Protein backbone atom coordinates (compact mmCIF):
# COMPACT_ATOMS: atom_id res chain seq x y z
CA UNK A 1 0.00 0.00 0.00
CA UNK A 2 1.37 3.47 -0.84
CA UNK A 3 2.70 5.71 1.92
CA UNK A 4 1.94 9.42 2.10
CA UNK A 5 3.52 12.19 4.14
CA UNK A 6 0.91 14.56 5.58
CA UNK A 7 1.97 18.04 6.64
CA UNK A 8 0.09 19.95 9.29
CA UNK A 9 0.61 22.75 11.79
CA UNK A 10 -0.32 23.13 15.43
CA UNK A 11 -1.35 26.62 16.39
CA UNK A 12 -1.24 27.25 20.12
CA UNK A 13 -2.84 30.61 20.75
CA UNK A 14 -1.70 30.62 24.40
CA UNK A 15 -3.00 33.91 25.71
CA UNK A 16 -4.21 34.98 22.26
CA UNK A 17 -7.55 33.24 22.79
CA UNK A 18 -9.23 31.10 25.42
CA UNK A 19 -10.05 28.03 23.29
CA UNK A 20 -12.17 26.54 26.09
CA UNK A 21 -14.82 29.18 25.52
CA UNK A 22 -15.36 28.15 21.90
CA UNK A 23 -17.55 25.20 21.04
CA UNK A 24 -16.27 24.51 17.54
CA UNK A 25 -13.16 24.84 15.38
CA UNK A 26 -14.88 27.63 13.45
CA UNK A 27 -15.44 29.66 16.60
CA UNK A 28 -11.85 29.04 17.78
CA UNK A 29 -10.53 30.13 14.39
CA UNK A 30 -12.54 33.33 14.55
CA UNK A 31 -11.29 33.97 18.08
CA UNK A 32 -7.60 33.67 17.17
CA UNK A 33 -5.66 36.87 17.32
CA UNK A 34 -8.43 38.91 18.91
CA UNK A 35 -6.19 39.80 21.85
CA UNK A 36 -3.25 40.81 19.66
CA UNK A 37 -0.99 38.26 21.36
CA UNK A 38 1.32 36.07 19.25
CA UNK A 39 0.35 32.54 18.28
CA UNK A 40 2.93 29.76 18.64
CA UNK A 41 3.11 27.48 15.61
CA UNK A 42 4.70 24.05 15.34
CA UNK A 43 4.87 22.24 12.03
CA UNK A 44 4.41 18.47 11.93
CA UNK A 45 4.51 15.73 9.37
CA UNK A 46 3.24 12.21 9.63
CA UNK A 47 3.46 9.18 7.37
CA UNK A 48 0.19 7.39 6.68
CA UNK A 49 -0.66 4.50 4.37
CA UNK A 50 -3.63 4.60 2.04
CA UNK A 51 -4.70 3.36 -1.37
CA UNK A 52 -4.68 7.00 -2.54
CA UNK A 53 -4.22 10.47 -0.97
CA UNK A 54 -7.90 10.73 0.04
CA UNK A 55 -7.76 7.37 1.85
CA UNK A 56 -4.53 8.42 3.58
CA UNK A 57 -6.27 11.59 4.79
CA UNK A 58 -9.19 9.50 6.05
CA UNK A 59 -6.77 7.35 8.08
CA UNK A 60 -4.90 10.44 9.31
CA UNK A 61 -8.03 12.17 10.57
CA UNK A 62 -9.35 8.95 12.12
CA UNK A 63 -6.22 8.98 14.31
CA UNK A 64 -6.57 12.66 15.25
CA UNK A 65 -10.30 13.24 15.89
CA UNK A 66 -13.16 11.22 17.31
CA UNK A 67 -15.46 11.88 14.34
CA UNK A 68 -15.55 13.63 10.97
CA UNK A 69 -17.77 16.30 12.51
CA UNK A 70 -14.70 17.64 14.33
CA UNK A 71 -12.93 18.47 11.05
CA UNK A 72 -13.88 21.49 8.95
CA UNK A 73 -12.64 22.64 5.57
CA UNK A 74 -11.60 26.22 4.92
CA UNK A 75 -12.44 28.04 1.69
CA UNK A 76 -10.34 30.65 -0.15
CA UNK A 77 -11.99 33.45 1.87
CA UNK A 78 -10.94 31.85 5.18
CA UNK A 79 -14.46 30.74 6.08
CA UNK A 80 -14.76 27.27 7.56
CA UNK A 81 -17.44 24.75 6.62
CA UNK A 82 -18.68 21.46 8.01
CA UNK A 83 -17.82 18.36 6.01
CA UNK A 84 -21.04 17.05 4.51
CA UNK A 85 -21.71 13.45 3.68
CA UNK A 86 -19.34 10.55 3.90
CA UNK A 87 -17.29 11.21 0.77
CA UNK A 88 -13.54 11.22 0.61
CA UNK A 89 -11.42 14.05 1.89
CA UNK A 90 -10.05 16.21 -0.91
CA UNK A 91 -6.25 16.63 -0.56
CA UNK A 92 -6.28 20.08 -2.19
CA UNK A 93 -8.59 21.55 0.45
CA UNK A 94 -7.46 23.17 3.69
CA UNK A 95 -8.78 21.47 6.84
CA UNK A 96 -8.81 22.52 10.49
CA UNK A 97 -9.60 20.72 13.73
CA UNK A 98 -9.05 21.07 17.48
CA UNK A 99 -6.69 18.57 19.11
CA UNK A 100 -5.65 18.79 22.76
CA UNK A 101 -7.05 22.33 22.93
CA UNK A 102 -4.94 23.51 19.99
CA UNK A 103 -6.08 24.54 16.56
CA UNK A 104 -4.58 22.25 13.92
CA UNK A 105 -4.34 22.96 10.20
CA UNK A 106 -3.75 20.44 7.43
CA UNK A 107 -1.19 21.87 5.00
CA UNK A 108 -0.67 19.26 2.32
CA UNK A 109 0.20 15.71 1.32
CA UNK A 110 2.98 14.12 -0.73
CA UNK A 111 3.77 10.58 -1.75
CA UNK A 112 6.48 9.25 0.58
CA UNK A 113 9.21 6.75 -0.12
CA UNK A 114 9.50 4.18 2.68
CA UNK A 115 12.77 4.62 4.57
CA UNK A 116 13.27 8.24 3.53
CA UNK A 117 12.44 11.44 5.43
CA UNK A 118 11.74 15.03 4.40
CA UNK A 119 14.89 16.91 3.48
CA UNK A 120 15.68 19.57 6.11
CA UNK A 121 17.77 21.57 3.61
CA UNK A 122 15.03 21.94 1.00
CA UNK A 123 12.16 22.50 3.45
CA UNK A 124 10.66 19.08 2.86
CA UNK A 125 10.33 19.32 -0.92
CA UNK A 126 12.65 16.35 -1.34
CA UNK A 127 13.52 13.15 0.47
CA UNK A 128 16.79 11.93 1.97
CA UNK A 129 17.88 9.12 4.24
CA UNK A 130 17.39 9.67 7.96
CA UNK A 131 21.17 9.53 8.38
CA UNK A 132 21.71 12.38 5.87
CA UNK A 133 19.04 14.52 7.55
CA UNK A 134 20.52 13.85 11.01
CA UNK A 135 24.02 14.70 9.76
CA UNK A 136 22.83 17.97 8.25
CA UNK A 137 20.94 18.94 11.42
CA UNK A 138 23.94 18.01 13.59
CA UNK A 139 26.25 20.17 11.47
CA UNK A 140 23.97 23.14 10.86
CA UNK A 141 21.16 22.81 13.39
CA UNK A 142 17.41 23.12 13.18
CA UNK A 143 17.61 26.92 12.80
CA UNK A 144 19.64 26.62 9.56
CA UNK A 145 17.06 24.28 8.08
CA UNK A 146 14.24 26.69 8.90
CA UNK A 147 16.04 29.70 7.37
CA UNK A 148 16.30 28.07 3.92
**What mean pLDDT is predicted for residues 121-125?**
66
Partnered with residue 95 across adjacent β-strands are 73
Look up residue 23 and give its DSSP letter: S
- The more confident residue out of 9 and 13 is 9
What digits encode the pLDDT tens for the residues 24-52?
Answer: 655 665 555 555 556 678 889 898 999 99
- The more confident residue out of 92 and 124 is 92
Reported confidence tier of residue 14, pLDDT bands at 50, 70, 90: low
- The more confident residue out of 19 and 91 is 91
Model confidence at 65: pLDDT above 70: yes
The b/e string for 87-115 (b: 16+ C-beta within 10 A; e otherwise) is eebebeeebbbbeeebbbbbeebbebeee
Whether residue 65 contacts residue 15, with contact meaning beta carbons closer than 8 Å, is answered with no
Single out the residue of 48, 50, 53 nearest to residue 89, CA to CA: 53
- In whole angstroms, give the CA distance from residue 54 to residue 86: 12
What digits encode the pLDDT tens for the residues 53-63?
Answer: 999 999 999 99
Look up residue 83 and give its DSSP letter: P
Whether residue 107 contacts residue 9, with contact meaning beta carbons closer than 8 Å, is answered with yes
Reported confidence tier of residue 147, pLDDT bands at 50, 70, 90: very low
Residue 32: C-alpha distances to residues 48, 78, 82, 99 (Å): 29, 13, 19, 15
Amino acid sequence: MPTYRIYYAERDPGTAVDTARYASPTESLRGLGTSGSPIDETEWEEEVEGRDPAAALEAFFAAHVASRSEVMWVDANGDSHAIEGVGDYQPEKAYIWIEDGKLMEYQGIDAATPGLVSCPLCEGTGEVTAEAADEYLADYGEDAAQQQ
